[in-house]
Amino acid sequence: MADIPAAGTVPEMRRDEELTTADGRPLRVALRRSQRQLRRRAFYLVAPLLVFLLVTFGWPIANMIAGSVYNPEVAHFLPLTSSAISDWDGEDVPGEDVFAAMAMDMESGLANRTIGRAAGRINREIPGARSLVMGTARDLEDMQPPYREAFLAEDERWGDLEFWRLIKRETRIVTPAYYLLALDFEYNSRGEIVERPEIYQVYRQLFWRTAWMSLTITALCVLLGYPVAHLLATLPLKTSNVLMILVLLPFWTSLLVRTSAWIVLLQQQGVINDLLVWANIIDASGRIRMIYNQTGTIIAMTHILLPFMILPLYSVMKTIPPSYMRAARSLGATQFTAFTKVYMPLTIPGVAAGVLLVFILAIGYYITPALVGGESGIFISNLIAQNMQGTSAQLKLASALATILLVGVLFFYWLFNKLIGVDRLKFG
């Protein structure tokens, strides 16, 4: 403005002079103030939501992540042993000072009822240690110093170096032990990180399975949802409305009902097998197992998640004018070329939105795999849920597993953003 001096208008205004409001304050300040007021008002408006999210979302997640590494049991509930063992070299059964400290910790632990938590922590890595610690703690009254001899006489496992090394290692308050377990690694008795024996390896495999099955389900949803959405977008309103209801009705139906319906259809004595037997395609002894395995999970989940693919696709396709295709055809493109070169690229925002929705929903899915997954079709979420119900060590393992899953989802989102760009998505 100041660059274009117009004759006769505000002659006293110069380039280096600041604009002021009527009461003499600089305009910039006044503007900022009024905008700050607006911003503050906007913030007050979203504040309830923000608080709600923090309380119901941020806080539990922070809690969960903290829980997956928090390791207070040994340090807090065996405090004397923790400090006594710090000088131990780890090569020979510890001396009387450590055993005496353990005896005193046990005594106070029994009175405060905290000894079980320490025992449970040790038991997570050395099964049987729980009853060793609890049993000795209960017999403590009848024992006489020196405790080293008394403990070893009570149970020879007190001479186990692995046990003492574990205690020495886990005096730390923050431990990666649960993340190691969650990735099928563990500490060996010398404190080195090694892979767990094959018979205990399960979590990595479950993570991979969850990922590839979710991808399969997402791909199936694209394959099945794309033509349906296209139909919905192009048919006359009357017909497409009926079709839309067919898409929405299952969407509104309870998840459990839909899952149970698939059980009725797919089980070996179910409707589909009955029909096949009746039509003499298979005989009664050769009924196909279509549920309680991966097939069951993929079929049921594809059906359940399909609307999340169709709806964003539909909303994008609806906005593509049919004249584009006609223009392409009139310029000499074949139907196929017109479709792949013109129509399909225009639907990418819808496909991307659908893929993001379906994949992220699928990767954390719980109830459907639990009901129809059998043993080969369950997801990592099912093991997380199972561990949630268990001991406090299992609860921490569940936290570690859930954190890894969360990081995985965030990584997928980041990758997706890099490849396609989240700002291009259209959810409807």
Binding site for other proteins (CB under 8 A): 112-114, 116-117, 119-120, 123-124, 127-131, 134, 199-202, 205-206, 209, 267-269, 292, 370, 374-376, 378, 383, 386, 388-395
Q: How far is 397 from 212, CA to CA, in rounded Å?
A: 23
**What is the residue type of 130?**
R
Residues contacting residue 210 through CB under 8 Å, at least 6 positions apart: 363, 379, 380, 381, 405
Nearer to other proteins by Cβ, of 285 and 323: the residue is: 285
**What is the residue type of 224?**
L
Nearer to other proteins by Cβ, of 229 and 363: the residue is: 363
Q: Tell me whether residue 326 is exposed, middle or buried, using C-beta atoms within 10 angstroms of its C-beta: 0 to 12, 13 to 18, 19 or more.
A: exposed
8-state DSSP, 146: -
Question: Is 316 in contact with 349 (CB distance < 8 Å)?
Answer: yes
Q: How many residues does the chain have?
A: 428
Least Cβ distance, residue 244 to other proteins (angstroms): 35
Q: How far is 424 from 413, CA to CA, in rounded Å?
A: 13
Nearer to other proteins by Cβ, of 146 and 176: the residue is: 176
Nearer to other proteins by Cβ, of 22 and 199: the residue is: 199
Nearer to other proteins by Cβ, of 167 and 266: the residue is: 266
Least Cβ distance, residue 111 to other proteins (angstroms): 11
Least Cβ distance, residue 135 to other proteins (angstroms): 10
User: The dihedral of CA 411, 415, 416, 418: what is its sign?
Assistant: positive
Q: How far is 306 from 87, CA to CA, in rounded Å?
A: 61
Structure tokens at 267: 């089980």
Residues contacting residue 80 through CB under 8 Å, at least 6 positions apart: 101, 102, 104, 105
Nearer to other proteins by Cβ, of 330 and 376: the residue is: 376
Least Cβ distance, residue 300 to other proteins (angstroms): 16
Question: Is 384 in contact with 402 (CB distance < 8 Å)?
Answer: yes
Nearer to other proteins by Cβ, of 117 and 165: the residue is: 117
317: closest CA among 272, 345, 347? 347
Angle subtended at Cα 384 by Cα 378 and Cα 390, rounded to the nearest 5 degrees: 120
Q: Is 194 helix (H, G, I), strand (E, B) or coil?
A: strand
Least Cβ distance, residue 149 to other proteins (angstroms): 25
Nearer to other proteins by Cβ, of 227 and 390: the residue is: 390
Least Cβ distance, residue 305 to other proteins (angstroms): 22
Least Cβ distance, residue 90 to other proteins (angstroms): 24
Least Cβ distance, residue 299 to other proteins (angstroms): 16
For 65, 193, 340, 402, the CA distances from 184, given in Å and listed in that order, are 19, 10, 45, 15
Taking each helix axis from N to C terminus, what angle separates 115-125 and 161-169, rounded to the nearest 10 degrees?
Answer: 110
- What are residue 331's phi and psi, to 5 degrees? -85, 5
Residue entry with tokens 């000072």: 97
**What is the residue type of 280?**
N
Least Cβ distance, residue 115 to other proteins (angstroms): 8
Nearer to other proteins by Cβ, of 48 and 127: the residue is: 127
Least Cβ distance, residue 182 to other proteins (angstroms): 11
- What are residue 336's phi and psi, to 5 degrees? -65, -50
Nearer to other proteins by Cβ, of 196 and 426: the residue is: 196
Alpha-carbon 170 to chain mean position: 27
Nearer to other proteins by Cβ, of 97 and 107: the residue is: 107
Least Cβ distance, residue 266 to other proteins (angstroms): 11
